[in-house]
Every structure is written in structure tokens, then in C-alpha cells.
Structure 1
Amino acid sequence: MKRKKLFFVLFVFSFLLSIVSSNAFARSNGQIVYIVPIKKTVEKGSSAFVSRAISTAEENHAAAIIFEIDTPGGAVDAAIEIGKRISETKIKTISYINQDAISAGSFIALNTDEIYMADGSRIGAAGIIDGAGNAAGEKAQSYWLSAMRGAAEKNGRDPIYALAMADKTTSLPKYGSPNGKYLTLTSSQSLEVGYSEGTVNNLEDLMQKLQLDHAEIIKVKESFADKIARFVTSPYIVPLLITAGCLGVLIELFSPGFGLSGLIGISSFLLFFYGHLVSGLAGYETIFLFVIGIVLLILEFFILGGIAGILGGIAIVASLFLASGNIVQMGISILIAIGVSILASIIMVKVLGKKMKFFKKIILSDSTNTESGYVTNPNRTDLIGKAGTTLTALRPAGTVIIGEERIDVVSEGMFIEKNVKVKVVKAEGSRIVVRQENSEIQKEDK
């Protein structure tokens, strides 16, 4: 009887669970929508994050991916990678510009199938600039304009507006972009020129417009690893990490034991490679090459010739270049690190080494001079004034005997025969100067 009751309870429970599941599936129509944020500055870490989000949506057969964009722009190469990944997916892609899609953000939005904008949001101002804030070179400009045109044409948008966003010479005065100014479109202007499919109040409003309000919504969030990767792959942080790493390792190599400087140096390089690994820019082979370089540098202290040190330096620099997605940027970062390291070394030796106890421990300040008590040979000042006999002729160097001690000496420049009485007149370390005893008497007679 108890067994029948148990089976009955399990049957009722299973029946109710199936009803709940079927209702939930019916409410979502079996559709899944992924919402992927693209906010703050677009970095290499952003590219890896977006790529992983799209791959997850593809694996789960999502009905659509909505990119919630609010960015002032960022790295062009990262934006190109994001745009390429969006173009490759077969899932419907929608941009929801929540506030700003400026510069790289506008390019990303143009690569999606549809664009919707919040009231008062903006898209445009996509001029490409270098790290110093100046307009990029002619080749880079040409490439970027071609990319902007292609992104607009791919989704049936008039490319003239995309070109005006990236080129000051394309004049569109009607939309506040005379010659010499980049185009930035408001939500209403974007709708007018076909760069927006509609203006919405929020995501819920957008879901209704897309007839996806019954779909299951999955909001993709950046993990802690993604945030670290975004931070450490920033073009402003990379030079700092490399500089800190070089200085830390340099100080540690020339100081006894293992201390804070070594910990800072290793941590800086670990952060650098970790961020680039997470971002998909580096593989484990780059870390292996870097470790080989460090080992070779350490071997240089035990193997003479300098070959190990040179090979180690080449291996380290090569690993940094392999881990970078931008060779020019990495080259600049390494030059900055080398310059700062040299300057810091000079400051440590010339200034801090005299004032701070920490640097006194790693900087050799002792000098092997006579004033400090260091001599290469004993100074025989005790021989001055003593007389002896030459055992050999002095030409002008030779040997004399003083008491029972044989001593190598030199004359004052004249020739002195063997078995002649001499007197020590000067002692400078190992240089003992003698003079023939009767030479002064001979000078007086003359």
C-alpha cells in the first residue's frame, strides 16, 4: 500500500513539473535572446569577450543577439575584430545604442543587421587618431574609410554618412557636419537617413518591437577575468606593466636574495601575459619563450661570454611581440620601458643610492683605494733610509740585499754596478727606489 502511494505521489509530481516546463517553453516560444554589453572603452579584451558571447549564443541556437552599446570608442583593431565576428555569425544581430556609439562603437553598430537607438543617443564621430591624438597616417585613414563604407553597404545603408563620420572632408551641412567636422547623428537623424530602424525607450520596448518579448533573455556579463583582461591590455597600461616588470627583475638580479622588487617584476609580467591569454592574443608558447629568456639571463651570471644574456634578451623581447596584437604599439611600449629603466637605474645609483638604505644594499659604494685601506702590494715605507748592497747590476732595475732580505729595486735612472753600497730613498708600494751611497759626495767634489 505504501509503495502505491509513493508511485502515485511521484506520478503527480512529474505531471505537474511537465506542465510547468511546457508553459515556460510556450511563454518563451523556445526562443533565446542574448544581450551583450559593449560599454566603456573598446579594448582587445572587449573583442575576446564579444567573441565568446557570440560563440555561446551560437551553441545554444539563439534567435537573436542584442548588443547594448554605450562607448566613446577605443582601439581600431579591436573594433575591426568585433565587427568581423558579428558579420560571421548567422544569428540575427541588433545594436541597441543606449547612449553613445562613438568612433569604434559606430563601426560595431554598422556591422549588425539592425540598429535601434534610445531617445537622445548618438552615433558617429569615427575619425581615426594615433596614440598622440593626431590624425592617423594616410594608409590607416584609407583602410578605416574602406571598413566604414563596407560595414554600411553590407547592411544596405547609404555609405555617405559612414564616410562623413570618419572623414572631415565629406561635407553634410544639413546634419551639422560641414567641411572639417566629423558627422555625429542623433537618434532622430539616424532614423531619417536609415541608420536606425527605430527609437525605443528601453530594452523591454525593443523586445516588443522585435516581437521577442516572450523569448528567454540571457544577459551576458563580463567575468572578473574579462575585466582584468580589458584593463591590462589597454595601450596605456601595457607600457607600465612592462616597465615595472623590467625594473623589478633588473633590481632583483643585482640584489641578494628574493625581495619585493622581484615580486613586483614577476607579478607585472604575469598580469601582462594573463590578460593577453584571456584576450586570446597570446598562447602558452609565448609564456614558455619568456621563461626561457629569464633562465638564459640568470645563466649569464654563471657562464662567461655574454651569449646567454643576448639570447635571453632576444627571447624575452620576442615573447612580448608575439603576445601583442599590435607590433607598433608593443615596440613603443618596449622602448618606453627601456628608457624608463635606464633613467631609473641612473637615479638609483647617483641619487637614491646615497640616501636610502634599501638602495645602499644593492649598489656597490665601496672603493678599493689607498684611503680606504686597500693596497695591491704592501707599502714598504720601513725601508726608507736603510742601506744595502746590490746583488746584481741595476739597469736601472735589479736586486739588493738589506740585512738578510733580498729586495727587487730600481735606481733613480743611473746604472749601478754589482756589490755597490746603496740606500733606499723612496718606497711606493712595490716600487723601491735606491741611490748609490757615495753619489752625493761625488756631486760635492765636482
Structure 2
Amino acid sequence: MRVNRWGKRWLAPLLAWFAVVVSLSSFAGPAAAEAGPAVYVVPVESTIEQGLQSYLERAYKDAEEAEAERIILVISTPGGRVDSAEQIGKLIRESDVPTTVFVEDMAVSAGTYIALNAEHIVMKPNSMIGAAAVVDGSGTLIDNPKTISYWTTKMTEAAKLNGRNPNIAAKMVDVNVVLDEKTDGIAKGKGEILSLGAEDALKVGYADHIAGSVDETLQWLKLGDRNVIHFEMTAAEKLARWLVQPAVMTILLILGIAGLAIELLVPGFGVPGIVGLAAFILYFFGHYVAGFAGLEAVVLFVVGIVLLILEIFVPSFGILGTLGSLSLVGGVVMAAPDAVKALVSLALAFVIAIVIIFWFAKRNNKRGVWNRFILRDALTAEEGYIPAPSLDWLAGKSGVTLTPLRPAGTVEIDGERFDVVTAGEFIQAGKTVKVVKVEGVRVVVREEV
């Protein structure tokens, strides 16, 4: 009966979790706007990562379905992930709707690459573009020749798309490139990364116009009379962008693994299970809304949870547990955009979660599921049990065998009969023996010579 109650307790939350992930995904955004000549204004703000990529994919799809005349990307970003920038650049190039970039504040690093893929670049006074050197997660400049060569090639090819000087794009990446005033329109020696203000960018062809606002940009494009659709990120997408960040993703995995494991091993608290379930809901919700996870990943994860629960109550010699663990790992990895990074995050989360589980189980060792298999009642007189009398006082005593010892038999010591054994030898009745060892109620004797 306890098993059924426990199963019901977890079945409802699991089904609810599955429903929540599916239902929340319906808030990904509005349907396509009404058809007609329109201009889509799409903000590109903050760090460039997978969540932004998914949002822009939805924006471009919506604009194409609405047969929009142009998309204006309003960029204000310090850069971000190179791989996401590449995918966004590809999205711009392959779209049927032409793109104009309006640099509102700065389009540096990966933001520069996105801008170079657009048909036009319009910059706001005092805005900046460039400084596209490759850095690691801590902001340290990467000097790996292969990495620099790869990103330089990507930048120069993007510059060539609309007839911009590729040398300037290369200087934005590689400190070893030298620019000449006569041939490149600007001078820059070795050891420096190039960034351009609005005026300099206009001078060297990296800006097509300087405008103070999106409205001025529309007037310059002769689209001032068009219907303007401001395409904003939904609340779900904003949350998803935060949830798919590597650090947040790892924390969610730690909370999810530790919470569910504690609830399974030390049941009765409720809170760890709720926290663990909520963490996994947020993990899959973020990746689902960001466009990385499909329902198959969610289903695989739920199957893994069910198999692990069954392993506790159904003897399977570890088969259910193994299959459940594989399903969990498969679901987490399938939901992530990068399988290798997901495995690294999962491994790190698992190690930290093990420490948390061990600490929690140690502090609550009397409540663990393992206590069902351990007899902890002490057979003491206080508990009503009658303990066997101690025979330690027989040690060193001598007596006479009443029966042959083969090797067990009976001896008389101080007028009392005791069951004894020898170390293996045979002793006839009527012989004098001495007690050489007492172990509880086991008395060992040997014949006295």
C-alpha cells in the first residue's frame, strides 16, 4: 500500500510537469502579422547566445510569412558566442526579406559579424562597431593561430558581401594586420584591434548612413510611410535566454539531480523533490522555447524518472536503474544545443550533486530508504528481551567431561553442567578439561595433561 501511495504521489507531478513544458511553449510568440508591405523592427540586445538566435529565427519567419518589405535589426550588444553569431549571419543572408542594421549603441565582436551580413549598416552618432577579436569566457584574448585565421576569414567574407574593405574586417580581429591610410582609408599599426566610431565607419564604408533613430533610418530607406511592426521578445523567450546560459543550466542540473535523488533516498521531506522537479522543468522549458529541445527529449527524461522509481521497488538486478540513468542522460543531452558541452555540464552537476546528497543523507541517516532493510531494534532487557547469561566467568576454569567431546559434549564445572566444544580434537568422558576461550555462549575447552 505504501508503494502505491508513493507512486501516486510522484505520478501526478510528472504528468503535470510534462503538461507545463508543452503548455508554456505555446507562449513562444504571436502569430504572423497581417500580410502587406511592412517593416519589421527587431531589437538585438545584450549578449549574443542561443536564445537570441532562436528568437531571431522566429522573427525572420514571421516577417517572411507577413511578406515584409524589410527587417531592421536594432543592435546594441557587446558580442557573445561566435557559433550563434554565425547562425544569425546565415539567417540574414538566406532570408527573402532584406536586412538593414541600425547600430544604436555598439555592435562589437560577434555583433560586428551580424552587422556585416546585412545589406545596409546605419549607425547612430557616437555608436561603435568593430573590436571583434576572439576571447574566452573570462574575456582573455585568444591567440591561437587557427582560431584567429578561422574568424578572420568569416569576418572578411562577410565584409565582401556588400563590397566593404576586407582588410578593415581583418584588423578588427587580428592585431598583426596593418592598415594604410592611402589604401584602406585609415591607419592602424600592429598590436591594436580596430574599432570604428560612426564617422570613421562612414568614411571607410563600414556604415552607409548616420541617423539618430529608427524613424530617420526609415526615412533614409524611403520607407517612412510603411507599416512598422515592432517585434519584441516574449516573456517566455526572455526567461529562456537566461535559462540556457551554461552556468544557469549547470545549476539547474545540480538542483534537479540532487533534489530528486534526495527525495527518492530520503523520502518524507517533499521540498527536495519539488525543487528538483522545478529545476528540471525550467531546464527543459528554457531549451524547448529556445528551439533546442523537442518533445522527444522531454518524453525520454520522464521515462528515465519512471524507470528509476521502479528500480527502488521492483527487483531488476540493476537493469531498470541502468536504463533509467541512460534515459535521463539522453533526455538532457538531446535538449541541449551542444552535446559535448551538455555532457560536461551534466558530469560537473553530477559530481556536485553527489556531495550534496551524501551530506544530506548523513544528516538524515535515520530517514533513508535503506533503513527498511536494516534491523535497528536492540534486544535489550529494557526493551523486554531476556538476554542469555554471561559465561565469561568460566574462562580458566577446570571441569570433568560427562560425555565424550566429538568435539561437542557436556562437562561439569563447579557442580554445574555446560555444553562445550573442543578445538577439533576428541576427548573421552571422565577426562579433566580446562576452559580456554569463551565467546558469548560458546565455551571452548582442551584436555588438561
Residues of 1 paired with 2:209 and 2:275: CA distance?
A: 51
Alignment match, 2:4: none
Does residue 111 of structure 2 align to residue 105 of structure 1? yes
Give the TM-score taking structure 1 as reference length.
0.79
Contact 2:36/2:66 (<8 A) preserved: no
Does residue 204 of structure 2 align to residue 193 of structure 1? yes
Contact 2:76/2:103 (<8 A) preserved: yes
Where do 5+ consecutive residues of structure 2 fail to align?
Answer: 1-34
Give how far 1:315 is off: 2.1
Q: How does 1:404-419 map to 2 (within 5 A)?
A: 409-411=420-422, 415-418=426-429
Residues of 2 paired with 1:81 and 1:391: CA distance?
A: 95
Residues of 2 paired with 1:369 and 1:429: CA distance?
A: 21
Deviations 1:19-66 (A, max 9, x none): xxxxxxxxxx95311100000111211111111111111111111100
Amino acid at match of 2:99: T
Contact 2:258/2:354 (<8 A) preserved: no
Amino acid at match of 2:123: M
Matched residue SS, 2:104: strand
Give how far 1:384 is off: 4.7
Deviations 1:146-202 (A, max 9, x none): 222221112221221222222222233865753233221111111111111111111
Does residue 155 of structure 2 align to residue 164 of structure 1? no
Residues of 2 paired with 1:177 and 1:321: CA distance?
A: 45
Contact 1:45/1:279 (<8 A) preserved: yes
- 2:410 corresponds, among 375, 393, 400, to 400
Residues of 2 paired with 1:102 and 1:372: CA distance?
A: 76
Alignment match, 2:195: 184
Give how far 1:360 is off: 6.2
Residues of 2 paired with 1:361 and 1:176: CA distance?
A: 73
Residues of 2 paired with 1:388 and 1:298: CA distance?
A: 62
Alignment match, 1:70: 76
- 1:268 corresponds, among 279, 284, 291, to 279
Contact 2:243/2:249 (<8 A) preserved: yes
- Alignment CA distance shift 1:419-1:232 (3 Å): farther
Matched residue SS, 2:247: coil
- Aligned-residue CA RMSD in angstroms? 3.5
Alignment match, 1:146: 153
Q: How does 1:43-62 map to 2 (within 5 A)?
A: 43-62=49-68
Alignment match, 1:280: 291
Residues of 2 paired with 1:133 and 1:220: CA distance?
A: 31
Residues of 2 paired with 1:191 and 1:341: CA distance?
A: 54
- Alignment CA distance shift 1:158-1:415 (3 Å): same
Contact 1:164/1:170 (<8 A) preserved: yes
- Alignment CA distance shift 1:104-1:364 (3 Å): same
Alignment match, 1:229: 240
Give how far 1:103 is off: 1.2
Q: How does 1:196-207 map to 2 (within 5 A)?
A: 196-207=207-218
- Alignment CA distance shift 1:426-1:288 (3 Å): same
Q: State how many pairs are aligned.
A: 399
Give how far 1:393 is off: 2.2
Pick which of 81-90 and 160-169 moved more.
Answer: 160-169
Residues of 2 paired with 1:109 and 1:73: CA distance?
A: 11
Give how far 1:390 is off: 5.2
- 1:79 corresponds, among 82, 85, 91, to 85
Where do 5+ consecutive residues of structure 1 fail to align?
Answer: 1-28
Amino acid at match of 2:158: A
Give the TM-score taking structure 2 as reference length.
0.79
Amino acid at match of 2:108: I
Residues of 1 paired with 2:286 and 2:387: CA distance?
A: 61
Residues of 2 paired with 1:370 and 1:303: CA distance?
A: 26
Amino acid at match of 1:331: L
Matched residue SS, 1:300: helix
- Could you say which structure has the larger radius of gyration? 1
- Alignment CA distance shift 1:73-1:362 (3 Å): farther
Give how far 1:114 is off: 0.6
- 2:250 corresponds, among 233, 236, 239, to 239
Give how far 1:330 is off: 1.6
Give how far 1:364 is off: 7.7
- Alignment CA distance shift 1:168-1:394 (3 Å): farther
Give how far 1:85 is off: 1.0
Deviations 1:239-276 (A, max 9, x none): 11111111112211211236111111111111111111
Contact 1:229/1:276 (<8 A) preserved: yes
Give how far 1:218 is off: 0.7
Alignment match, 1:324: 336
Pick which of 46-55 and 250-259 moved more.
Answer: 250-259
- Alignment CA distance shift 1:30-1:241 (3 Å): closer
Deviations 1:86-129 (A, max 9, x none): 11112121000000111111111111111100001011111223
Contact 1:66/1:96 (<8 A) preserved: yes
Pick which of 201-210 and 167-176 moved more.
Answer: 167-176
Quick one: percent identity of the two aligned structures?
Answer: 37
Does residue 54 of structure 2 align to residue 42 of structure 1? no
Give how far 1:423 is off: 7.3
Alignment match, 1:114: 120
Matched residue SS, 2:258: helix
